[in-house]
A = this chain, B = another copy of it.
Amino acid sequence: MSAHSDLTRNQSLVLDRLEKADAPMSAYAILDQLRDDGLRAPLQVYRALEKLLDMGLAHRLESMNAFVACAQPHCHDSGLIAFAICEKCGQVSEFSDDVVRERLNGWADREGFVVKRTTMEIRGECRACAA
């Protein structure tokens, strides 16, 4: 069912669902679509998501309490990923920028701030929707 054979059943179900979605999904939306597969409680989804986030196979969009499958698995070890989210069609673009990363790290170094995790989300309209 999925190309991720090292995943558990629930993890595979959730990741598959995310990969087939054309927009970010909330945990409860995922759950609703996996009822037929035997999932019945939110925690089953949240637990699977937690692992997928750890593995970098999915991302959480803080600004909308939703989740997406990673667009370029294993391709962003930069430690800083930015998301552009179209509020009209839901399309999410994932990218990283070394200059931005440098600037933020520079600020943190000067301030003595120890960075654990950074989120960067741009909301707006994609080219197609803005036209």
Contact = CB atoms under 8 A, between A and B. Distances in A.
* Assembly stoichiometry (copies): 2
Interface in A79-131: 82, 84, 86-87, 93, 95, 97, 99-100, 103-104, 107-108, 111-127, 130
A63 interface: yes
Nearest to A115: B124
Interface residues of A, number: 33
Contacts of A99: 99-100, 103
B100 A113 contact: no
Interface of A: 62-63, 82, 84, 86-87, 93, 95, 97, 99-100, 103-104, 107-108, 111-127, 130
